[in-house]
Amino acid sequence: AQSVTQLDSQVPVFEEAPVELRCNYSSSVSVYLFWYVQYPNQGLQLLLKYLSGSTLVESINGFEAEFNKSQTSFHLRKPSVHISDTAEYFCAVSPNYGGSQGNLIFGKGTKLSVKP
């Protein structure tokens, strides 16, 4: 069975500091990888995704994530965070069974709290 582990439930950081939110997955098949962000009392928004090609993917607001197949990880990083980055971040995987259809499997989320 596939699973997603987000190793930190809460990450407090100071503004302008770097941050890494960790995500590891377990899967017997290849996967597609996603990071979603949820601001308080809102739905989720896609932050970035890895489908194929370059293992480093970037978002428009400065986040990046690197797919590491050997370590089955897809950690999210930002070199300098802002107060507005305070949110909950969810890692998700979509197993590719070869039939081309499937559902997302979400991690339990990491709450990023950026302090001034």
Partner 1 sequence: DGGITQSPKYLFRKEGQNVTLSCEQNLNHDAMYWYRQDPGQGLRLIYYSQIVNDFQKGDIAEGYSVSREKKESFPLTVTSAQKNPTAFYLCASSPDRAVYNEQFFGPGTRLTVL
User: Which positions touch partner 1 (CB under 8 A)?
Assistant: 9, 32, 34, 36, 41-46, 49, 51, 90, 94-97, 100-104, 106-109
Nearest to 91 by CA among 17, 12, 9, 1: 9
In b/e form, how buried is each residue of 33-62, taking b as 16+ CB within 10 angstroms?
A: bbbbbeeeeeebeebbbbeeeeeebebeee
Distance CA 75, CA 88 (A): 15
Residue whose CB is less far from partner 1, 54 or 100 = 100
Nearer to partner 1, 13 or 44 (CB): 44
Q: How far is the CB of 116 from partner 1 (least distance, A)?
A: 25
CB 110 within 8 A of CB 8: yes
Residue 9 C-beta: closest distance to partner 1, Å = 6
Pick the closer one to partner 1 by CB: 73 or 94: 94
The nearer residue to partner 1, 73 or 110, going by C-beta atoms, is 110
Shortest distance (Å) from residue 16 CB to partner 1: 28
